[in-house]
Every structure is written in C-alpha cells, then in structure tokens.
Homo-oligomer: A and B are copies of this chain.
Amino acid sequence: MDNSKIGHHISEQFNKELEDVRNKVMAMGGLVEQQLELAIEALITGNIEQAEFVIGQDNQIDTLEVAIELECTQILALRQPTAFDLRLLLAVIKIVHELERIGNKAKRIAEMAVKLSSHTNAMPKHDMDRMVELVKAMLDNALDAFARMSIEEIPAITERDQKVDREYENIVRLLITHMMEDPRNITRFLDVMTTVRALERVGDHARYICEHLVFMIKGENVRHLTQEELVDKINQPR
C-alpha cells in the first residue's frame, strides 16, 4: 500500500490532520530510537553523563504519547472516521504506547549504565553484540514500515524476535554461570540481567508495533499468533 491511501478525503483539513498525526508518530519514533542508541552506548562505554541525559529526556517521550493520543481521540470525536482512517487512529494510539514502553526500557538501560559504570567489564559485551544489533534493526524496520505504510517486511522483522529470544536465553545462562562462580557479585550480575531483559522487551514491543500495522492495513487482529500463522495472514488476500 502506498501513502495515497491517506489523501482521498473530501475535507482537505481532515487529510492534514491525519498527516500531522503520522508525522508526529515518526518524530516520536526517531526520538525513541535515539534514546535507545544513546542508552546502549552509555552502557558499553560507561559514560554516566550520557546515561543521565537519556534518563532526563524520558519525560519528553511520555509527553509525546499523551499528546498524540489526545490528538487521535479528538479526531475520532470530530471526524467520526470509519474503515482505514478509523483503524489508522486506533493503531496509532497503540503504536505510541509501544514507543513509550520502548522509551521506558531505554531509560531502564540508562539507569543500569549508571549503576554499572565502574564495572563495564561485568557486561558480556561480546555476547550482547548480536542481540543489540537485532533489536535495533527490529525497531528501525518497524518504524520504516510505519512510515511507508507497508507490511511487506513484517514477517522478516517478527522472525528476528525469535532470534532475540534465543540470544537472551543464552546470555541469561552465561550470567547464571558467572553468578555461581562469583556469588559476591550476584547483585551486579542481576543488574546486567535486568539490562539484557530490557533489551529483549524492546524486541517484543517492536513486534507489537508490527502487529498493530497489520491491523491497520489488513484490518485483521494478529495478536497471539505464531510466526507461521502471522505470515499466512499477511499473505492472504483481503
């Protein structure tokens, strides 16, 4: 589907309102991506100042969520849209919620970056590398799919979530070994575990964004489906 789906309204003003909502979601997505990037970087380098910058910026994301949701609710009340426009607004309310949750995880990672700053060697950096790349790509591609209003790439994005889960389990196993070998540092390894779980959850929320996109474009609820069922639904003609 191309963006021309938006733009068929008799009311020029209504078109502008929907375009405005979409642009705000994309701006919010950009900010959330930046927060995640900076938080992970601060974690790896032990840069406390950068981590605190991320923590301080989190309320901007909360504010954006509330503002975009309000805008959607007002459009629903005033324009009483149906079909695609209704789904677009309902999906946006859910997508900004997922973005807020991802922002929250970025803040959590930044908080852990502060706690772990003098123990950056406690991070299994090498083992986390792959997971970090997978999660960042999931978020980036999900936002890209929203911008293009296309669900073509979604099976590839959600498939990556399964890889993230496997990487997560491997890292947890590794951390348990470290804890057993060095019980005095259990608290530190638990902080690392919290960090890695936050990252794993970012992958989940990126997948949920994809599910909301499928609802928006195909009008089908694809929550609680397996990867195979999801792919089937996406490939079904409407």
**Interface on A for B, CB 8 Å cutoff?**
59, 62, 65-66, 69-70, 73, 76-77, 80, 82-83, 86-87, 90, 93, 176, 179-180, 183-184, 186-187, 190, 221, 223-224
B66-A223 in contact (CB<8A): yes
A66-B224 in contact (CB<8A): yes
B187-A176 in contact (CB<8A): yes
Residues of B within 8 A of A73 (CB): 86-87, 90
A165 to chain B, nearest CB (A): 15
Residues of B within 8 A of A184 (CB): 180
State the oligomeric state as a number of copies: 2
- CA–CA, A83 to B73, complex, Å? 10
Partner of A82, one of B62, B80, B221: B80
B221-A66 in contact (CB<8A): yes
A122 to chain B, nearest CB (A): 16
B86-A76 in contact (CB<8A): yes
Knowing A76-B76, A76-B86, A93-B90, say if A186 contacts B179 (CB, 8 Å): yes
User: Apart from A66-B221, A73-B87, what 4 extra A-B contacts exist at CB < 8 Å?
Assistant: A62-B223, A90-B93, A179-B186, A180-B184
Question: Could you give 16 example pairs across A and B, Cβ below 8 Å?
Answer: A62-B223, A62-B224, A66-B221, A66-B223, A66-B224, A69-B221, A73-B90, A77-B82, A77-B86, A80-B80, A80-B82, A179-B179, A180-B183, A180-B186, A183-B183, A183-B186
A231 to chain B, nearest CB (A): 18
Residues of B within 8 A of A77 (CB): 82-83, 86
